[in-house]
Structure 1
Amino acid sequence: MSEDAAPHAAGAVPTRRTDVAPTPSAPVGRTAGRTADAHASTAVPVTTPDERCRQVLDGMRGRRFESASTVAVCAADGTLVGLVTLERLLAAAADTPVRDVMDAEPPTVTPTTDQEQAAWRAVHRGESALPVVDEAGRFRGLIPPDRLLAVLLAEHDEDVARLGGFLGSSSEARSAALESVGRRLWHRLPWLLLGLVGAFVAAGIVGAFEHQLEEQVLIAFFLPGVVYLADAVGTQTEALVIRGLAAGVSTGRIALREAVTGPLLGVLFATVTFPVVLVLWGDPRVAAAVAVALFAASSIATVVALALPSLLHRLGRDPAFGSGPLATVVQDLLSIVIYFLAASAIVT
């Protein structure tokens, strides 16, 4: 293996000197660089395909590497041509050229490859280290085994936390579950106060339709049902969206199916409600108003439930805390307005 002092020998790529400190391990987590380049180390053994296995092993003795389990095999211009593991070097005959024992088609990633994709690529190919190369194929460093494992553990930790309805790591999930009463109030009270404001607004909206209620009091009988069913439809959609965000499914993949499901549920509610109200209360106009309101409110509730969790997620807020109360307020107010507008147009 060539010395730094004599890089021209055998056309070898220079090996790192013993007095060069290894590249510090990159932190893994939400604040760390999430690309392959952030985890690549240059403090690894490098050799050429024509060098003998004995020379490689002799050149590694007395040197300090961040990881010596895998040797990068590069051409004279720095292009990566293969990888060879320490196990293969030890098992090969002393005079065997490295090219005869190396993996000539190792999996590689670019510096901008996402850290999770890089780690999984190494695992799926059974590699203990993963080389990072630029667009021209020049060697940029190896992601050592400990960093690959750290990335996998960090990604697993994050995925488990997200499945629990949190956007951060599982440590944040544990903190939220065990936090003090004061912190619980701080996290929940603002959203619930928003709901209280919504209740006052809802009272004002109902009061604005006082004349219609005086003319036909039967209208008031069905307001709770319309609000509840629309809210229930929205809650189901919201649960699917939050679950999808936790599992890494984009809102766009859910939106089309839910945008169709909401109106279909509204049609079913209207179809069932119209004859029941007509038979039991004998007023076709009120029955029509309730049916129209159920269809429109269910359709709009789905849109609201799709938009709010996605918006909170984009803003970096946990949708598990905020989207429920906020969506309930918005859906209820819209349902009340829709119902009274339908009643005003059809009944009074």
Structure 2
Amino acid sequence: MLDQPAGTAAAPPPAHLLPGAIDQYLSTRVPVCLAEERASDIRARLVGKDHEVAEDVAVCDRLEPPHRLVGLIPVSRLLAADGERRAADLLDADPPVVVEGLDREQAAWKAVQHGESSLAVVATDGAFRGLVRSPTLLGVLLREHDEDFARLGGYLASTRSARLAVEEPVARRLWHRLPWLALGLAGAAMSAWLVGLFEGRLVADVRLAFFIPGVVYLADAVGTQTEALVVRGLSVGTPVRTALRLETITGPALGLLLGLVSLPAIWAVMGDVRLAATVSIALVAACSVATLVAAGLPILLARTGRDPAFGSGPLATVLQDLLSLVIYFAVAVLVLGEVHP
């Protein structure tokens, strides 16, 4: 085992680290040993040595860099082991290992899921670069936890941005919010126009108007839940495809459940199975579409560099309301038939 000076466990880190990459927390002065070394020899060389990482010993295929990681030995396990036992018998052959450049939060969560006290970092070619200590990982998770709350409030880049958004003067608040609310006002006008297109259908059966608020509200509610989950997933690095796949199943399932509950209730109260079927089918379709809109908008806005705190909520509401109305009246025409003057 070598008491390696700083920088000898691997080559120096790249000068252009990605923002938030785990590389910036890397410790390179770590204890290293070979798999065939005895526990007593490793312990003897640990005494009196100053390492940046003292929680784990890195077992590598060679002592001099560049070397590849074979496993990690927790120091607590090393101290309790019989002196004749080999490092190969004590090591964890499947420790948490990440490639340099990975986002710091994703890297920290990987260490937590493995239950290890250190996180190993390797280069893209597999060469061992060093370890990230457990107190450092804890600090990363605490900072990311703080930032996640800011993101959940609007997917902002940091808590500093969140505080600025809260403390900014009235003029800037108006500047950030009015364009999106103006878009909402335009959407409200278009909603009124859509309702006017189906005036004949509403006059023929005014009961259809009773359920417009319910269909629109429930679709909005399902969409809002989806939007919150997608924003949370983005903030912790969950793959976008996973979120989209799960929500495209969850939205229709929620709509189907709401429709199944509504069908007998409306039928019993109104005494019209066709009206009940219209509302139920519209709920299934509107909730399904609202889920797609709510899942796609935060991702789109984030990728285009816009702040979903001000944009995704109003924009999603406008689109969901318009689509819900179109779906509701389209289903009404299909189920109840067109009205001819």
* TM-score strictly above 0.5: yes
Unmatched 5+ residue regions in structure 2?
Answer: none
Give the C-alpha shift of residue 69 in structure 1.
Answer: 5.7
What corresponds to 2:226 in structure 1?
Answer: 241
Which position in structure 1 is the counterpart of 2:178? 189
Q: Does residue 301 of the first structure (1) align with residue 286 of the second (2)?
A: yes
Q: Distance in 1 between matches of 2:27 and 2:291?
A: 43
Alpha-carbon contact 2:267-2:276 (below 8 Å) kept: yes
Match of 1:131 in 2: 120
Aligned residue number for residue 166 of structure 2:
177
The higher radius of gyration belongs to 1
Structure 1 gap segments, 5+ residues each: 3-13, 279-283
Aligned amino acid, residue 105 of structure 1 = D
- Measure the CA separation in 2 of the matches of 1:27 and 1:148: 21
Q: How does 1:1-348 map to 2 (within 5 A)?
A: 15-16=4-5, 31-33=19-21, 39-48=25-34, 49=37, 53-57=43-47, 60=49, 66-67=52-53, 70-76=56-62, 78-81=67-70, 83=72, 99=86, 103-105=90-92, 107-111=95-99, 115-116=104-105, 118-120=107-109, 122-123=111-112, 127-133=116-122, 139-164=128-153, 166=155, 168-209=157-198, 212=200, 217-219=203-205, 221-222=206-207, 224-248=209-233, 250-266=243-259, 268-273=261-266, 276-277=269-270, 288=274, 290-291=275-276, 293-315=278-300, 316=302, 321-338=310-327, 340-341=329-330, 342=332, 345-348=337-340
Quote the Cα distance in structure 1 between the aligned partners of 2:138 and 2:87. Answer: 29
TM norm structure 1? 0.67
Distance 1:138 1:222, change over 3 A: same
Q: What is the TM-score with the length of structure 2 in the denominator?
A: 0.68
Note the C-alpha offset of 1:163.
4.6
CA distance in 2, matches of 1:81, 1:276: 70
Cα distance, 1:15 vs. partner?
2.8
CA displacement 1:190-230 (0-9 Å, x = unmatched): 222112112332343344456x37xx8354x4454332111
Deviations 1:239-278 (A, max 9, x none): 3213423553824324323303314434544544456556
Of residues 226-235 and 323-332 in structure 1, the stretch that sits farther from structure 2 once superposed is 323-332
Change (3 A) 1:68 1:307: same
The letter for the 2-side match of 1:151 is V
Q: Is the 8 A contact 2:78 2:90 kept in 1?
A: no
Pick closer, same or farther for the CA change 1:320–1:262 going to 2, 3 Å.
farther
Q: Distance in 2 between matches of 1:242 and 1:298?
A: 18
More off after superposition, 317-326 vs 189-198: 317-326
Q: 2:220, 2:320 within 8 Å by CA — same for their partners in 1?
A: no
Write the distance in 1 (CA, Å) between the matches of 2:32 and 2:211: 71
Structure 2 Cα separation of the partners of residues 117 and 339 of structure 1: 42
The 8 Å contact of residues 230 and 331 in structure 1, kept in 2 or not, is answered as: no
The separation in 2 between residues aligned to 1:156 and 1:92, in whole angstroms, is 37
Secondary structure of the residue that 1:76 maps to in structure 2?
coil
Query: Contact 1:238–1:306 (CA<8 Å) still a contact in 2?
Result: yes
The 1:270–1:218 alpha-carbon spacing in structure 2 relative to 1, beyond 3 Å, is farther
- 2:219–2:324 Cα contact (<8 Å) kept: no
Figure out how many residues of one structure are paired with residues of the other and give that number.
Answer: 315
> Structure 1 residues 26 and 174 mapped into 2: Cα distance closer, same or farther (>3 Å)?
farther
Residue pair 2:220, 2:321 contacting (<8 A) in 1 also: no
Listed one character per residue, the Cα deviations across residues 94-124 of structure 1 (whole Å, up to 9, x for unaligned) are: xx78957995226241426764454345456
Question: Partner letter of residue 42 of structure 1?
Answer: T
**Letter matched to residue 19 of structure 2:** T
CA distance in 2, matches of 1:80, 1:19: 14
Give the aligned residue type for 1:43. R
SS of corresponding position for 1:151: helix
Aligned to 1:5: none
Displacement of 1:310 after TM fit?
A: 1.2
State the superposition RMSD in angstroms.
4.6
Q: Distance between the aligned counterparts of 1:318 and 1:17, measured in 2?
A: 41
Query: Using the alignment, how far apart are the partners of 2:70 and 2:257 within structure 1?
Result: 58
- Aligned sequence identity (%): 40
SS at match of 2:97: coil
